[in-house]
Amino acid sequence: MQAKLTETYITKLKHKSERYDVRDTVERGLVLRVGKKFGAKHWHTFVYRGSKRRMVRLGLFPHMSVRDARMAAIQAKANANAPWTPEHIKTVANLFEEYRKTREPKMRAWRDVQSAWDVWGEEFLGYLKLTDVSIHHGRELRNHVSKKSTELRGSAVIRYIRPMFSWAVDESLIDENPWAGLKATAVARPRDRVLTNEEWQKVWDATFKDNLGAYFRFLMLSAQRKDNVASMKWEEIHGNLWTIPAEKFKATKKESAKAHEVPLTPALIEIMENQPKRGPFVFGPTGLKQLRLGSREKDRLAKKAGVDDRRLHDLRRTAATRMTENKIPRFIVKRVLGHADRSVTAVYDRANYREEKRQALNVLSKN
């Protein structure tokens, strides 16, 4: 089936019991493929490398207009004779695996990159051949995530995955970055939300009505990062001291990360003693896997507490504020939180401030 493809013509095309193609009479090799189930309309073009012909996926209509599809088809054909990538790297999924091997040991935010790929990127991009990837795939992914979740998350997913293509160019795995001009403009605004004493008490009381209440109470009384508490293991506990391993601790650079000591107050020890030892992890339904919290669990606690506009990180910010309001020096609060000390003095001062941190955390136990 052939036709001069226009936006109006394509919009009127209906899906059938089997998928079908419509070839553009203006740009040779450009094809619009109409799916059989929901009628999704994908742009493709045929390119040649010697005597071998292959079909390249360009994008999805209407996110990619007719004009952009024709230009993308021309570009795809121009790149047909570009050098091939290594034999074991054919798809975006292959590329991500190479990227992971190289970057995971060096990136403190790798867990966010991995999550963005596992939840959104792999299904949407993984099957694509590297030679087929274009900026339009990035736009489709961003729009898809924005629609399913939020615009903020859509931009975040792009910011986590996009550097992979720059890395691939630097490593000579691809010739050009297909997402070089892809924008991800939605940025989270810094929060300064601190719970009032009344709200703090409401959240505390609500934890006793929640099956994950022990985790939330430990979070409130330890002032540690939610992921560190969620991944807490029994083997990290030694008496009244919890040591967060360097590989699990947040740092600007992985190589500069250090183990972080958290003195356990009587209140924190009591929470732990009431946790059944069913596996290596302290918190979680089974103790066999790290606790993973979704928005459902967080919203459930907020609803039970009757506190609006609250996020888990607000508990850490509020805990720090409660300590300083109770005359704990900010230097000690900084040590409790595990924030890096980049002063010259820090090079010489190797004290662990264990007792000072314990006294600071005892303040949080006085609800």
| Buried/exposed code over 291-311 (b: 16+ C-beta within 10 A; e: otherwise) | bebeeebbebbbebbebeebe
The SS3 of residue 172 is coil
CA 95, 188, 257: angle at the middle one, nearest 5?
60
How confident is the model over 99-134, as pLDDT tens digits? Answer: 999 998 888 778 889 989 998 999 999 999 888 899
User: In terms of pLDDT, which residue wins out, 15 or 336?
Assistant: 336
pLDDT value for 256? 60
CA pair distance 295, 156, nearest whole angstrom: 17
DSSP 190: P
How high is the pLDDT of residue 342?
A: 73
Domain range annotation of the chain: 1-81, 85-189, 197-364
pTM greater than 0.85 (yes/no) = no
CATH topology of domain 85-189: DNA polymerase; domain 1 (1.10.150)
pLDDT digits (tens, 9 = 90+) for 317-329: 999 999 999 999 9
The CA-CA-CA angle for residues 284, 288, 292, to 5°, reads 40
**What HEC string does 89-142 produce?**
CCEHHHHHHHHHHHHCCCCCCHHHHHHHHHHHHHHHHCCCEHHHCCHHHHHHHH
The answer to whether the CB of 179 falls within 8 A of the CB of 135 is: yes
Domain 197-364 CATH (choose: 1.10.443.10, 3.40.710.10, 3.10.20.90, 1.10.600.10): 1.10.443.10
- Distance, in Å, from the CA atom of 168 to the CA atom of 170, rounded to the nearest integer, reads 5
In the numeric block, the tokens 């036709």 are attached to 3
Q: Determine the distance from the C-alpha atom of residue 292 to the mean position of all C-alpha atoms in its chain, rounded to a whole number.
A: 13
The answer on pLDDT for 164 being more than 70 is yes
Q: Which fold has domain 1-81?
A: Double Stranded RNA Binding Domain (3.30.160)
pLDDT digits (tens, 9 = 90+) for 74-108: 888 887 766 555 667 889 999 999 999 999 888 87
Strand partners, 54: 47
